[in-house]
Chain A
Amino acid sequence: MNLRPDPGRAWRSMVRAKWPLLAVAILAVVVVVAAFGPWLAPLDPERQSIASRLSPPGTTGPQGITHWLGSDVLGRDVLSRLLYGARISLLVGLAAIMVGGTLGTLAGLVSGYFGGWVDDVTMRLGDMQLAFPFVLLAIMFLVVLGPGVGNLVLVLGIGQWVTYARIVRAETLALREKEFVEAARALGDSTTTILFRTILPNTVAPLTVIASFNVASVILTEAALSFLGLGVPASVPTWGSMLAESRDTLLANKWWLAVFPGVAIMLTVLSFNIIGDWLRDALDPRLRERQ
């Protein structure tokens, strides 16, 4: 029953499966780019030059600036925006998971451990969340709050909490009657200690699996919200907003505006999904039905 991750076993199974290795390699690149993007970027990602807008990849502009991946509708350098965008896209994805995961885990722990009305209230809130189509909820709040990285993270995070709450609650329900929890209680450990030191570590495995799938879906949702004009502010580059901005130029065959951010999103989401798959198989096969 103990589901604590075992790094050695994990590594061996990853090497055996090959795909996860590739996914980890891709994500490593993305993380490096996200961390060092500002130093890697050849140009200021927000610097416009409308005279040289929509230059195809490899074009060298009048000031001797080469747009290796082309320039966008305002003449901004696509490569630089892509590199900066890695940071914001990843940040939005991870931060939203942190917000949703923290909220959900707390709610799940409390409602699973205490039961009763606390449980009822939490679960009804969860039902409301699930019954409310998430995209509509997100639209409603973003229309009112206005675009902004913080608002986006908040809305995307709130959209995720139920998944975490339900899983943690189920684990907590199962664990709270276990001997080692009883033992901790008998030893006089405080409720907080039992919740966070005894029960929480045992839910890490399923949470990790869900989180890796969730990052993928959050990145896609961000793109969809950008499409509706509700993502980050217009000048801030994220992969989703770059892809959304490409919609009017697709007809004019300005492929580089869609292909580069599109590939970046696809590879990243793909990697998170592959890792999620592998984590699930390696750590907790029972989760399959919940994804």
Chain B
Amino acid sequence: MGILVARRLLQSVVVILGVTLISFIALHAGGDPTYLFVSERATPEEIALVRQALGFDRPLHVQYLSFVADLARGDFGTSLSYRQPALDIVLGAFPATIELAVFAFAIAIVVAIPLGVVAALNRGTAVDGSITMLGLLGQSIPNFWMGIMLILFFGLYLRWFPISGHVPFLVPLLNGDLATALGNLPRTLYFLVMPGLAVATYSLARNTRLVRSSMLEVLGQDYVRTARAKGLSEQVVVVHHALRNAWLPVVTMVGLEFGFLLGGVVVTETVFSYPGIGRLLFNAINQRDIPVVQAGVILLAGNFILLNTVVDLVYARLDPRVSLTRGRR
């Protein structure tokens, strides 16, 4: 166990360095970013001064190495457009995205399981057909379009849900202000409904189909048939025997799924003007705010690795056949 964690840690460092190198190269390949930080009518001399002030006059490898050296000391650099520590900026936007991702993830699981179970239990009927069809449709709608349609229909036409914005829950919670956090919670959730749905649609649809098919498989297994033969009620059979086994494949995807959700929020955050990390990084890339992009990418990659390590550990507990050194492939 200890060896696994150590090995994973080492691998993560390599992965994270690789990720920063990729974004460093990508962001510098577009040419000198200095022009983004001078006013419209700056003279060449002023531009040169700014270039020097920003450190873009140094050779690329020197810039990267000094970035890594700073990173090793825990210094992520200063945002070029906000002129604040890059890590603070990224951490400031992260809680909102976590709220969105967790909410969407919850929808994708909580709604998917009953839908999948109902479809499986009614296999071949109209109910199954419509759930399956909805599942397929949900996987075929681009999420920006889904978002705009939600805004126009539920936000503007029916006025059921707020159109855009965000009420913080995690930020007051992390600041130790429990009263504010709990007071905000209902409105946090209320504001999350539409962006959450837009983010979740794809995963929700996929999970529904996944639960349905694994449920069908389990229902056909001998022990379920035995349970039924023993005269146990349908409810007991479904909940205690079938469901317990059917949702395992969903759980195995948690790590990958969460990373997928985090990556997919860029578009949704733009549509709902949601102040999360996806939009922050999209803007930072456009403005070549390299320190912010790097901090964000490190945070997301680290988060992804952490989640997957945890999932692997949990999974190893659940299923001893999985080799710990190789992990799940």
Contacts and interface: CB of A to CB of B under 8 A. Distances in A.
Contacts of A274: 136
Interface residues of A, number: 45
Given A124-B18, A143-B30, A144-B27, A250 B148 contact: yes
Contacts of A289: 249, 252-253
A247 B26 CA distance: 29
A166 interface: yes
Interface in A107-144: 124-125, 127-128, 130-137, 139-141, 143-144
A143 B266 CA distance: 15
Contacts of B266: 135-136, 139, 228
B301 interface: yes
Interface residues of B, number: 54
B281 interface: yes
B140 A265 contact: yes
Contacts, number: 131
Contacts of A130: 256, 259, 304
Contacts of B210: 288, 291
Contacts of B278: 135-136
A248 B127 CA distance: 36
A124 B30 CA distance: 26
B156 to A, nearest CB: 8
Given A223-B142, A258-B145, A289-B249, A135 B263 contact: yes
Given A132-B297, A227-B267, A291-B206, 9 more contacts: A128-B15, A131-B259, A134-B263, A136-B263, A136-B296, A143-B30, A228-B267, A250-B148, A269-B140
Interface of A: 124-125, 127-128, 130-137, 139-141, 143-144, 166, 169-170, 216, 220, 223-224, 227-228, 240, 243-244, 247, 250-251, 258, 262, 265-267, 269-270, 273-274, 277, 288-289, 291
23 contacts: A127-B11, A127-B305, A128-B19, A133-B264, A135-B263, A135-B267, A136-B278, A136-B297, A140-B285, A140-B293, A144-B30, A220-B202, A224-B143, A224-B144, A228-B270, A243-B142, A247-B145, A250-B149, A258-B145, A266-B140, A269-B139, A277-B209, A289-B253
